[in-house]
Chains A and B, each alone.
Chain A
Amino acid sequence: MIHKPTPHPWRCGPRCEIDQSMNAAPLHRAGHRFLFDPAGVVFWPAQKTLIVADLHLEKASAGAVRGQLVPPYDSRTTLDRLARLVRRYAPETIIALGDSFHDTAGRSRMAAEDEARLARLEAAHKVVWIAGNHDPQASSPSEWMIDTVTLRHQAARVTPGSIEFSGHFHPKASIITRAARITRPCFVVDHQRVVLPSFGAYTGGLDVTAAPIRSLFSRGGQVLLLGADRLHGFALADAARAARAA
């Protein structure tokens, strides 16, 4: 067993804390500049817009309904993480790319305290809840356009010259390094498409080598693995098949 010490020891898992020293990576597409944050969100400075995918709030209580009494703190954890990003980027608009609740009844099961926080977030910002397959709502738009940018839950056809942001697949990728196989949630991007990783505390992942993701990037792409304080970029072709989460 070899262990390399690092000067900044971890305090918590890769997804539960956000350190102030995190570096967002700028990415230019069709004349727009986006910041890709290692927490798994995208900030669009020109539009003061924060884009986040697949919050799956109240997934724990959805499990409880079926008899799995998993710790009920997932909504709280997810909102905590979102709040930190909102403080950092101070967006005017927050766009949630669908599956914001694990199911349509999710919001009604929310603890009063969490519900109040969510309401405050909605009061302080323009929040666009795009409909997902888990939380279809007649009142929610199925997609949202800003300039040449389309935001929707699940990737669809992209017209030449436009950009699409979507979620739905919860991409994760495995990289085989010199000494270990490392699996992390990731962004998948090419010159027109961005698939965001899921943001919810209890959301698992779909491997980027799986057909549904692969077919979206038939001409190659890049995976950006979420690291402790930065993203790690790899060619999509270098991602190995990950083991199923146990």
Chain B
Amino acid sequence: MQAVRAGQHALLIAPTGGGKTLAGFLPSLTELAHTPTEHLHTLYISPLKALATDIARNLQAPIREMDLPIRVETRSGDTPANRRARQRDRPPHLLLTTPESLALLLYAPGAADYFAGLRMIVIDEVHALAGTKRGDQLALCLARLSMLAPAARRIGLSATIAHPDAMQRWLSPDGRGSETTLITGAAGSAPVIEMLVAPVRMPWAGHMGLMAAGAILERIKAARMSIVFVNTRAQAELMFEALWRHNDDTIPIALHHGSLAVEQRRRVEAAMANGALRAVVATSSLDLGIDWAAVDQVIQVAAPKGVSRLMQRLGRANHRLDEASHALLVPANRFEVLECVAAMASAAAGELDGEPPRPGALDVLAQHILGCACAGPFHPDALFAEISRAAPYADLARTDFDDVLRYVEDGGYALAAYERYRKLFRDAAGLVHVMNQKVVRQCRMNLGTIVEAPTLKLRLGHERGPMLGEVEEYFAAMLRPGDTFLFAGRRLNFVGLRETSLIAVDGGVGEPKIPAYMGGRMPLSTHLADRVRALLQRRADWDQLPAPVREWLEMQALRSELPGEANLLVESFPRGGRWYLVAYCFEGRQAHQALGMLLTRRMERFGDQPLGFVATDYVLGIWSARPPQDIARLFAPDLLGDDLEEWLAESAMLKRSFRAVAVIAGLIERLHPGGERNRRQITINTDLIYDVLRKHEPDHILLRATRADAAHGLVDLSRIAGMLNRIQGRITHRALPRVSPLAVPVLLEIGREPISGLSAEEALLNEAAALVAECFNDPQADPAPLALRAAM
């Protein structure tokens, strides 16, 4: 804390449990005790509302005990209007809030006065914000705060991360890392990680890990309190059910995921805190948040996908530095065994993965520019200088800034159609003003960078029945009355839909459907992929592997060969009248998906007659009617050409991305959950807007923002490009007489993964229509439309 007292900005990096959060407030409390003020003195920003509330509680106790005249308050979307008004008129000394609530304060006309006396800004869990759109917005807001309150110092608190220098830049007042001290806390005891291999046959495929439920339950019984982390909400429901199937002693086990009703989640958290539970099955909903001292064991079911995330999860156990946390990894299939072993080696070596920083998102900048205009007139030059001091935007070109500004002003279209409807106008001095109060209202309604898929409230019994949580609409649309599904650990029977609610009753029978969620699965990290490749090559390390997995690899070495660290192993073999090509790329599902599309296009041109492909995190498999010919030419780097652009533009991922961009940038209005849709509101499907905009103005700022999102997250283009360059001249092709042991898992995935893409849709529609036509071919079944069917 020396650095802070010396007036420096500081980034404090320490493993969880170092007591760093409360330490961050010490300078503030000391200052306030000595020099009382009527101004807002310290701002605390956390990604979680619950965390702010918890910290406030922890601060109030010592303040009361020492009888200090210091007021601590929280502010979030849940804060009642009267308290918000009071906070505006009479600011607390310490305000604990979220990035979104801070933005709302900053975009209000009184912001300059409100923050003028600010001395200290504490940003918690920086690692969870930097590099995301929420982090972009917070960085922009911090740049604004620095202008309003130049004396305010920043203290960032972060878990251990792979790129501390990038985080230091993110926190620094000039966006380039200067004037900011990096403080690295003492490392805690290394975690003790073991792998649990269920005493059953090791599955070839699948990601749920349910067969280990019995063994997991035994480990739960042996500990005081466990968190069982899984990767998706669907997996959480299934694992919860599987554990209870074995739970003859009915030890208390609960479920926690982001779709459950808030009250339900709070109840589970409270039960954890007071030691009433023995285990909680959870998704990333418990990755961050309040410390639960009682947790002494973390169990990760299915592959961790990244070391940083694994370490974050392990940190949930034993929030004390002097005690090692205990963790158990439970792989769900053979490849996941390799991934778990790789992750354990990484953790032992203290290595972390993490994406290098990406440039700030332009849709977030659009929201910020509008917000700044709502706070008061600005000059574009001054605002550009200000936002350039936020690290994500430090290298933003002035032309890009001007394009975003033009978009906010009047849509920024080449067709100058919206002069009459502009949102901002410029006065003679060049200052930019907001057009009217309607624009201000819109800005406030639309604020924030989290865009959720539309959801329905799940209610028990009837429209006013108790709410169990929220399910995504597209899952609800798949249910028919009488269908059974799993939610909140219950087997439910679907009754019907009423307005914005899905009604269900207890007691479904038969095979349940599981709510699926968009984007639930994280891709394998590059770092962990490298580790897995290395493990495959180093036979000495195979001792750590369970016998069936070791034998599997040995058989692979005998029948084909093992993928190397530097080369790309490609196998081809005939099976069931088709030819299969399996490439061991280890670049993650997203990258493999794009690669599969590119390769099949190319195989078509080569005359190989490809029929389809399947992608896992590790492997890409393609099947074709004829044997693949020239493997080296197939993987030539010019693969990333026009085909990619075309496929990308049409992909559902890009359309989903565009929807989020359109909402964040304020192009269309946010649908507020539960809020009645205004009848006069004009709703236009963003897919349609996307098609029209792409045709008429392919370089519009919103399309640029969408493509940037895709390049950095959804499609992992950088990983494909990196791989293609790495493997040139290093492709090992093995033409085999039959499927190799390592190829079995990917072949088993065929038919399990969903199909997407427009051309695939056409094929499916044809197929489905043909089936319908077949079953209707009896003329007595449906005489009227026959003329039409026959004609088609």
> Which residues of A line the B interface, CB within 8 A?
1-7, 9-16, 23, 25-28, 36, 59-74, 76-77, 111, 174-182, 184, 189-191, 201-204, 220, 222, 224-225, 227-228, 230-235, 238, 240-246
Pair A182/B769 contact, Cβ less than 8 Å: no
Please tell me which one of the listed residues B659, B669, B683, B696 contacts residue A77 in the complex, with CB atoms under 8 A apart. B696
Are A67 and B684 also in contact (CB < 8 A) when A73-B415, A243-B477 are? Answer: no
Please tell me which one of the listed residues B411, B596, B789 contacts residue A1 in the complex, with CB atoms under 8 A apart. B596
Q: Could you say which interface size class chain B belongs to?
A: 35 or more
Nearest residue, chain B, Cβ from A28: B787
Contacts of A111 in B (CB 8 A): 415, 417
Nearest residue, chain A, Cβ from B411: A69
Are A246 and B454 also in contact (CB < 8 A) when A16-B695, A27-B791 are? Answer: yes
Pair A190/B791 contact, Cβ less than 8 Å: no
Pair A1/B478 contact, Cβ less than 8 Å: no
Pair B759/A178 contact, Cβ less than 8 Å: no
Pair A180/B756 contact, Cβ less than 8 Å: yes
A230 to B751, CA, bound (A): 27
Instruction: Tell me the smallest distance from the CB of A17 to a CB of chain B, in Å.
Output: 9
Nearest residue, chain B, Cβ from A68: B668
Are A178 and B684 also in contact (CB < 8 A) when A73-B697, A202-B692 are? Answer: no
Nearest residue, chain A, Cβ from B761: A182
Nearest residue, chain B, Cβ from A179: B755
B423 at the interface (CB under 8 A from A): yes
Are A68 and B413 also in contact (CB < 8 A) when A73-B695, A233-B769 are? Answer: no
Contacts of B418 in A (CB 8 A): 61, 64, 69, 72
Are A26 and B684 also in contact (CB < 8 A) when A3-B757, A232-B769, A243-B477 are? Answer: no
Contacts of B672 in A (CB 8 A): none
A221 to B408, CA, bound (A): 47
Please tell me which one of the listed residues A26, A177, A201 contacts residue B688 in the complex, with CB atoms under 8 A apart. A201
Contacts of A201 in B (CB 8 A): 688, 691-692
Stretch at the interface among B9-17, B40-48, B485-493, B609-617: B609-617
Pair A70/B785 contact, Cβ less than 8 Å: no
Are A4 and B612 also in contact (CB < 8 A) when A67-B438, A72-B415, A204-B683 are? Answer: yes
Pair B696/A243 contact, Cβ less than 8 Å: no
Contacts of B687 in A (CB 8 A): 13, 245
Apart from A1-B589, A25-B791, A240-B477, 10 more pairs, CB < 8 Å: A1-B593, A3-B760, A9-B646, A62-B682, A71-B696, A73-B693, A74-B692, A179-B755, A222-B788, A241-B497
Which B residues, 767 to 791, have Cβ-Cβ distances below 8 Å to chain A? Answer: 767-769, 772-773, 776, 782, 784-785, 787-789, 791
Pair A182/B764 contact, Cβ less than 8 Å: yes
Are A238 and B772 also in contact (CB < 8 A) when A2-B750, A68-B667, A201-B692 are? Answer: yes
Nearest residue, chain A, Cβ from B769: A232
Pair B667/A73 contact, Cβ less than 8 Å: no
Q: Can you report 17 residue pairs joining A to B where beta carbons are below 8 Å apart? A: A2-B613, A3-B600, A4-B612, A4-B760, A5-B612, A9-B759, A69-B418, A71-B411, A71-B689, A190-B784, A201-B691, A202-B689, A222-B788, A232-B765, A234-B768, A240-B477, A245-B685
How many pairs of residues, A versus B, come closer than 8 Å at their CB atoms? 242
Please tell me which one of the listed residues B421, B480, B681, B753 contacts residue A64 in the complex, with CB atoms under 8 A apart. B421
A99 to B560, CA, bound (A): 65
Contacts of B453 in A (CB 8 A): 246
Pair A3/B596 contact, Cβ less than 8 Å: yes
Nearest residue, chain A, Cβ from B773: A233
Nearest residue, chain B, Cβ from A111: B417
B680 at the interface (CB under 8 A from A): yes
A2 to B753, CA, bound (A): 7
A225 to B761, CA, bound (A): 12
Pair A2/B696 contact, Cβ less than 8 Å: no
Pair A7/B604 contact, Cβ less than 8 Å: yes
Are A66 and B680 also in contact (CB < 8 A) when A9-B601, A71-B693, A177-B767 are? Answer: yes
A4 to B750, CA, bound (A): 12
Which B residues, 297 to 332, have Cβ-Cβ distances below 8 Å to chain A? Answer: none
Are A76 and B604 also in contact (CB < 8 A) when A2-B755, A13-B691 are? Answer: no
B439 at the interface (CB under 8 A from A): yes
A241 to B475, CA, bound (A): 11
A59 to B681, CA, bound (A): 12
Chain B 659-702 interface mask (CB, 8 Å, partner A; 1/0): 10000000111000000000011111111110111011100100
Q: Most chain-B Cβ atoms within 10 A of its Cβ — which of A70, A180, A234, A246?
A: A246
A2 to B765, CA, bound (A): 16
Q: Most chain-B Cβ atoms within 10 A of its Cβ — which of A6, A69, A240?
A: A69
Contacts of B753 in A (CB 8 A): 1-2
A68 to B768, CA, bound (A): 39
Pair A69/B421 contact, Cβ less than 8 Å: yes
Pair A70/B589 contact, Cβ less than 8 Å: no
Contacts of A1 in B (CB 8 A): 589, 592-593, 596, 613-615, 753-756
Contacts of A179 in B (CB 8 A): 754-755, 760, 764
Instruction: Tell me the smallest distance from the CB of A227 to a CB of chain B, in Å.
Output: 6
Contacts of A65 in B (CB 8 A): 421
A3 to B688, CA, bound (A): 23
B189 at the interface (CB under 8 A from A): no
B273 at the interface (CB under 8 A from A): no
Q: Most chain-A Cβ atoms within 10 A of its Cβ — which of B478, B753, B788?
A: B788
Contacts of A14 in B (CB 8 A): 758
Q: Most chain-B Cβ atoms within 10 A of its Cβ — which of A7, A12, A179?
A: A179
Instruction: Tell me the smallest distance from the CB of B451 to a CB of chain A, in Å.
Output: 9
Nearest residue, chain B, Cβ from A192: B784
Pair A225/B791 contact, Cβ less than 8 Å: no
Pair A5/B769 contact, Cβ less than 8 Å: no
Pair A3/B478 contact, Cβ less than 8 Å: no
Nearest residue, chain B, Cβ from A203: B688
Pair B684/A202 contact, Cβ less than 8 Å: yes
Nearest residue, chain A, Cβ from B624: A5
Q: Most chain-B Cβ atoms within 10 A of its Cβ — which of A14, A62, A177, A242?
A: A177
A240 to B474, CA, bound (A): 12
A232 to B755, CA, bound (A): 19
Q: Most chain-A Cβ atoms within 10 A of its Cβ — which of B413, B417, B454?
A: B417
Pair B776/A181 contact, Cβ less than 8 Å: no
A23 to B788, CA, bound (A): 13
Pair B767/A178 contact, Cβ less than 8 Å: yes
B728 at the interface (CB under 8 A from A): no
Pair B792/A231 contact, Cβ less than 8 Å: yes
A228 to B760, CA, bound (A): 11
Q: Most chain-B Cβ atoms within 10 A of its Cβ — which of A26, A62, A180?
A: A180
A57 to B401, CA, bound (A): 32
B410 at the interface (CB under 8 A from A): yes
When A and B form their complex, which 5 residue pairs have the shortest distance between CB atoms, in order from nearest?
A69-B411, A72-B417, A243-B474, A179-B755, A177-B764
Contacts of A240 in B (CB 8 A): 477-478, 480
A235 to B771, CA, bound (A): 12
Contacts of B684 in A (CB 8 A): 59-60, 63, 68, 70, 202, 204
Pair B691/A16 contact, Cβ less than 8 Å: yes
B650 at the interface (CB under 8 A from A): yes
B442 at the interface (CB under 8 A from A): yes
Are A70 and B695 also in contact (CB < 8 A) when A59-B684, A241-B477 are? Answer: no
Contacts of B785 in A (CB 8 A): 189, 222, 233
Instruction: Tell me the smallest distance from the CB of B702 to a CB of chain A, in Å.
Output: 9
Pair B659/A25 contact, Cβ less than 8 Å: no
A175 to B478, CA, bound (A): 10
Q: Most chain-A Cβ atoms within 10 A of its Cβ — which of B684, B760, B764, B776?
A: B684
Which B residues, 589 to 607, have Cβ-Cβ distances below 8 Å to chain A? Answer: 589, 592-593, 596-597, 600-601, 604
A199 to B478, CA, bound (A): 27
Which B residues, 705 to 755, have Cβ-Cβ distances below 8 Å to chain A? Answer: 750-751, 753-755
